[in-house]
Structure 1
Amino acid sequence: MAYDPIFYLPLTESTFYILLSLAPGRKHGYAIMKDVKDLSRRRVNLSTSTLYTAVGRLLDQGLIERLHDGGQESGPGLTRKSYELTDLGRRVLEAEHVRLQGMVKEARLRLREGGA
């Protein structure tokens, strides 16, 4: 696992919004799906399989961690799982934020030069 946040960039739009959804704190899968849809103004609408494929990859990369919420059940015999950012995940999200800000700044300058 790489510890330099730059190694993970650029993030896909879905990954960016999943990490952003977890920035304020832990969430379970359905809450992440709903939050991503809201944060992206409905541009990113994750299916369950897409979310959990991404979650599996983010877990493997060490960007998020799984928490078992004791007592909350999502179905018969199933315990609801929540996810939260790791320190590395937060640093990756912050690095992507800086990268995107730089892109927007350059676009503004170029568009201004072109008379837009």
Structure 2
Amino acid sequence: MAREQFQNLTEPMYYILMSLLKEMCGVDIMEAVIEISKGRVKVGPGTLYALLSKFEKEDMIIETEVKGRKRSYIITDKGKEILLEEYRRLITMANDGVLYMERYKENFKI
């Protein structure tokens, strides 16, 4: 069931999981998402903590440390597998687009 739910990750999901290849807390995750996406994707606290909760429930991440209200997380092997599958899916889609769109480039202002 978890695989179906996370078959296609949203951008925030993808960037959050990517940021957790290294252990970090919530504030650091939000900053990492901005950095990795070059400012294109921003995740607010509500979205972040809702997704972290889902990821933790599905064993995609684990909580590594709690200091007061500060909680740190890292991706699990299961989370890495899902992240890698999404990475490969996105690469395949981009490659398909390059091949197909090149044939019809006169229809686009690329």
> What TM-score range do you get, normalising by the shorter chain?
0.7 to 0.9
Aligned residues: 106
Which residue, 6, 9, 12 being the options, matches 2:7? 9
**Matched residue type, 2:49:** Y
- 1:87-98 equivalences under 5 Å are 87-98=77-88
Percent identity, aligned pairs only, is: 30
TM-score by length of 1: 0.83
Q: Secondary structure at the match of 1:16?
A: helix
TM-score by length of 2: 0.87
Q: Which runs of 4+ in 1 moved over 2 A?
A: 5-8
Instruction: For structure 1, list consecutive stretches of 5 or more residues without a partner in the other structure.
Output: none
- Would you say the 8 A contact 1:19–1:85 is kept in 2? yes
1:108 aligns with 2:98: yes
**Matched residue type, 2:63:** R
Q: Secondary structure at the match of 2:102?
A: helix
Q: Deviations over 1:1-47 (max 9, x none)?
A: 64xx5762200110000001112x20111000000011112121111
Cα distance in structure 2, aligned partners of 1:80 and 1:30: 9
Which residue, 31, 36, 41 being the options, matches 2:33? 36
Q: Does 1 or 2 have the higher relative contact order (CA < 8 Å, sep 6+)?
A: 1
1:61 aligns with 2:58: yes
Instruction: For structure 2, list consecutive stretches of 5 or more residues without a partner in the other structure.
Output: none
Higher strand content, 1 or 2 = 1
